[in-house]
Amino acid sequence: MSQPYKIAIAGIGGVGAFYGGSLAKAYPDPSSVSVNFVARGGHMRAIQQNGLQLQMDNGVVTSWPQAVTDNPATLGKLDLIVFCCKAYDLERFALSFSENIGAGTVLLPLLNGVDSTEVLQHLLPGTEVLYGCTYLFAKRIADGVIKITGDLNQLLLGSAGSDKTEVERIAGIFKATGVNVSANDDIRLKLWEKYSFISPMATATSAFNNSVGELLVDSEKKLTLQQLMEEVVLLSEHKRIGLPGGIIDINSTKLSKLPAEATSSMHNDFKAGNRTELETLTGYVVRESEQLGISVPTYTRLYALLKEKAGS
């Protein structure tokens, strides 16, 4: 009898819960695919007792993983580790899986930012690390309960090398869940397309403590948002990413179609006094631009302001 394909979802926030819950629901028999969650505290205990509850527009979906633990070592060797944590937790999370890495273990980061694959390659050398990009509106509203808003669920996967074998295999596993998944040869471009949208939005909403609607009706703040978009595109050009020529107009249109009260997760974290992804969503642009010798004055100014706001 062949061994089951063992998956761990590292981080059961909105993204991890949606994909982990979808996998656990689609593969209830662990003899073929074993789905395991790594979570903490009350969230972990609630899932252990009541299952993971996904509140969808058409009802509640409850799923039961094979195991829910806060100690990855108890899971043994893993075939696939899907990292769905915040960017600032990636290093700690990745190193906690050091005992789970086998000869064929594949890592898949589904985080904000554009450098998670390279971070994992550095932290866990010798593993195959894929690129991943997801579009999803999901939020944890209580321990063990995640709210999924709308029907947007797009998962893009790609290889960091020329071999697409694992990408196709993993895409096939996700397809059985009903998730909208596809393998992409231009996955880094897709990551940057998303980043060119969320980085300016997160930076501006957090710096001004405003919703998207409040930014767009203030001419000065709207100009600042435009300048952020231009600067992140400038960085992408120097990194030879090849974003579409009209990406700024595309992203501006996306912003204008959002509800006026919409904001970014980083802004929400600042308001709640939580740790934020400032270094990933704002600081990265400043640091990379400095290394390449290009000027990003708007990012530099708002990064300094936000660092002061964060007390760092």
Residues 151-181: pLDDT tens digits? 778 999 999 787 788 999 999 999 999 899 9
Please tell me whether residues 94 and 70 are part of one structural domain.
yes
Please tell me whether residues 147 and 285 are part of one structural domain.
no
What's 32's domain CATH number? 3.40.50.720
Residues 258-310: pLDDT tens digits? 889 999 999 999 999 999 999 999 999 999 999 999 999 999 999 999 999 99
Final residue before a domain boundary, out of 132, 159, 184: 184
What's 241's domain CATH number? 1.10.1040.10
Please tell me whether residues 205 and 288 are part of one structural domain.
yes
Please tell me whether residues 239 and 258 are part of one structural domain.
yes
Residues 197-215: pLDDT tens digits? 999 999 999 999 999 999 9
| Residue 58 pLDDT level (bands cut at 50, 70, 90) | confident
Please tell me whether residues 220 and 71 are part of one structural domain.
no
Share of the chain above pLDDT 90, in %: 87
Residues 91-122: pLDDT tens digits? 999 999 999 999 999 999 999 999 999 999 99
Please tell me whether residues 158 and 14 are part of one structural domain.
yes
Whether the CA torsion 248, 202, 155, 72 is positive or negative: it is positive
- Mean of pLDDT values over 50-71: 95
Cβ distance 107 to 132 under 8 Å? no
* Average pLDDT score, the chain: 94
Please tell me whether residues 139 and 47 are part of one structural domain.
yes
DSSP the chain: -PPPEEEEEE--SHHHHHHHHHHHHH---TTTEEEEEE--HHHHHHHHHH-EEEEETTEEEEE--SEEES-GGGG-SEEEEEE-S-GGGHHHHHHHTGGGEEEEEEEEE--SSS-HHHHHHHHSTTSEE-EEEEEEEEEEEETTEEEEEEEEEEEEEE-SSS--HHHHHHHHHHHTTT-EEEE-TTHHHHHHHHHHHHHHHHHHHHHHT--HHHHHTSHHHHHHHHHHHHHHHHHHHHTT----TTHHHHHHHHHHHS-TT---HHHHHHHHT----HIIIIIHHHHHHHHHT---HHHHHHHHHHHHHHT-
Asked if pLDDT for residue 2 goes beyond 90, the answer is no
Give the number of domains in the chain: 2
Residues 115-127: pLDDT tens digits? 999 999 999 988 9
- Note the pLDDT of residue 312: 67
- Mean of pLDDT values over 56-78: 95
Q: Supply the range of the domain harboring residue 304.
A: 189-310
Please tell me whether residues 103 and 144 are part of one structural domain.
yes
pTM for the model stands at 0.94
